[in-house]
Amino acid sequence: MFRKSVYSVSNLKIKHTMGGWFSYVWWGGDPDACDPISGLTKREIHAVQKSWAPVYANPVANGTELLKRFFRAYPNNKTYFKMLTNISEEQFSENIQFKAHVVNLMSSLNLAVKNLDQPEVVAALMVKIGDSHAKRHIKEQNFHELKDVIVKMYIEVLKLDATTLAAWGKAVDFWYKHIFVALNSSR
């Protein structure tokens, strides 16, 4: 039987079962409470950030691999990348414009992941991405196709568990919600 207690931390009363107080303090609040803006819990944010760390450890190589997989799965998306018009996949890494796009993509993803605990900031970043991509006539479908590739790559390469994949799905849905608002209002 668990012993129930009430503790006061900074004038905040916390009811918990044994071990709950430490968890509350460690997480900086209820780890399972959903943020009203992002829809993510602190546990889900932690899972996304933890699983992102090995990907961002080598951003150019992993971003290049992601886009190669994207173009293989959805070749029509390559038409949005003028710098790739007449070059083979093996030459992508040598193309400075492509490499710059990879760095930008991975940096944007990193900012979105690292700042999930500040959903208002992430929402503003996503609106900028939506505005930028609207100018290039990118559609929601293109983003959904990218999500599909990311999920498949994460399952195959990182072997993520279902809980972490679900957290990623919620994070990407949160990002896309704000990207799509900007993407569709700019037309």
Domain enclosing residue 12, as ranges? 1-31
Domains in the chain, number: 2
Average pLDDT over residues 78-97: 92
Give me the pLDDT at residue 154, please.
87
pLDDT digits (tens, 9 = 90+) for 108-127: 999 999 999 999 999 999 99
Same domain, 25 and 39: no
Residues 22, 39, single domain; the answer is: no
Distances (CA, A) of 103 to 61, 107, 110, 158, 183: 10, 6, 10, 21, 22
Q: What type of residue is 32?
A: D
> What's residue 186's pLDDT?
55
Do 22 and 75 belong to one domain?
no
Same domain, 50 and 101: yes
What pLDDT, on a 0 to 100 scale, did the predictor assign at position 27? 58
State the chain's mean pLDDT as an integer: 87
pLDDT band (50, 70, 90) for residue 185: confident
Question: What whole-number percentage of the chain has pLDDT above 70?
Answer: 84
pLDDT more than 90, % of the chain: 76
What is the predicted pLDDT for the residue at 6?
A: 41
Contact 13, 6 (CB under 8 A): yes
Residue 13 — pLDDT band, cuts 50, 70, 90? very low
Site of tokens 């991509």: 133
Q: 7-11, 17-21, 30-34, 65-69: which has the minimum mean pLDDT?
A: 7-11
Q: Are residues 17 and 70 in the same domain?
A: no
Same domain for 161 and 101? yes
Could you give the angle at which helices 42-56 and 162-185 cross, rounded to 10 degrees?
A: 90
Span 25-38, pLDDT tens digits: 555 778 899 999 99
Both 27 and 40 in one domain: the answer is no
178 and 137, same domain (yes or no):
yes
> How large is the average pLDDT for residues 94-98?
94
Note whether 149 and 129 are same-domain residues.
Answer: yes
Do 25 and 46 have their domain in common? no
Contacts of residue 71, defined as CB under 8 A and 6 or more positions apart, other chains included, come to: 77, 78, 84, 89
The mean pLDDT of 165-183, rounded to a whole number, is: 95
CATH classification at residue 172: 1.10.490.10
Q: Give the model's pLDDT for residue 21.
A: 52
Neighbours of 134 (CB within 10 A): 18
> Do residues 81 and 25 both lie within one domain?
no
Please check whether residues 20 and 75 belong to one and the same domain. no
